Amino acid sequence: GMGWALLGVGLLLALYTLLRHGLRRVPLPCARPELRGRTAIVTGGSGGIGAATALELARCGARVVLATRSAARGEAAARRIRTETGNPEVRFMHLDLASLRSVRAFASTFLRQEPHLHLLINNAGVNGGGTTEDGFSLPFQVNHLGHFLLTQLLLERLQSCGPSRVVIVASSAHCAGRLHLDTLGQPPPGLLSTFQDYCDSKLANVLHARELATRLQGTRVTCYAVHPGFVNTELFRHVPPWLKPLFLPLAWLFFSDAAEGARTSLHCATHEDLERFSGRYFANCHLQEPWPPARDDRLARALWEASERLVGLGEPPGSPSP
């Protein structure tokens, strides 16, 4: 009895180890691009994939701005990255994407203090529920609307510093997204409201990159949407407590770590000759076709116009509507 039980446990452990190491492809070391003299913003840069992305950009010599909500975590991350890379050009700037007022304040401070911008990595994300001070659902505002406004406010600077790039961290969860333009930014109904909201925001991310590329044709700014892989980071703080015991072994087995999760963002930020793929979707450092709704140009344009209206861009107040 006991012997068989031990053998069974041993076999399970062996299988687990094999799976864990076999499923996690070891990233090939690739040549570091030279980014000295280039400035990057990484939103949500104080932890998870954002911090891993910022660390690698700093290693390549870029000046990196960690645009994140918590000053304590942001300053600590900036210090850690400066120490680890020996690159002194890493700084924290306060940005709370759940507040459009904060997005505007960040953009005006950045434009006043920083002469250049070459890379904008729209990385921050949440998957919890709630409503923002602007009256929008938290995941939709943080993941899409706040980043949409931020990108628009920084676009002129990106254009004057071209060639430059915008990387939008989306997710394969966009496959379950549904956008209802008349109720955009309101939490969807139903039991899985928060999950649906997250998926909707990720569909919005892929469509944002698509429409942005269309509007940037003929400029020296290109943009890319990326799926970072299933990454075991703070994003899963919001998993309900009763699900955590189920979730953690799975996460450990299948989810990549943050450094691996940052690879596709870095690929799209720095890889040469990606300009012709502007507006497209990447996963695992490769071009991928997103789900059909994410390729719908009419939806992309309608989302853009609705987003402009919601964040207060576009038509100046009091102008006659067409």
Which residues participate in catalysis according to the annotation?
A: 198
Mapped onto helix, strand or coil, the DSSP state of residue 40 is strand
Place of tokens 């990720």: 202
Euclidean distance between CA atoms 36 and 109, whole angstroms: 23
Nearest to 206 by CA among 168, 180, 236, 261: 168
Residue-by-residue DSSP string for 201-235: HHHHHHHHHHHHHHHTTTSSEEEEEEE--SB-SGG
Euclidean distance between CA atoms 143 and 124, whole angstroms: 7
Tokens of 298: 């009419």
Which residues does residue 39 pair with via DSSP β-bridges, in sequence order?
63
Cis peptide before 322 (omega within 30 of 0): no
Q: Is 66 left (phi over 0), alpha (psi -120 to 50) or beta?
A: beta
Euclidean distance between CA atoms 294 and 220, whole angstroms: 24
- Which residues 6+ apart lie within 8 Å of 46 measured at CB? 66, 68, 70, 73, 74, 76, 77, 92
Tally of CB atoms within 10 A around 133: 12
Euclidean distance between CA atoms 92 and 241, whole angstroms: 32
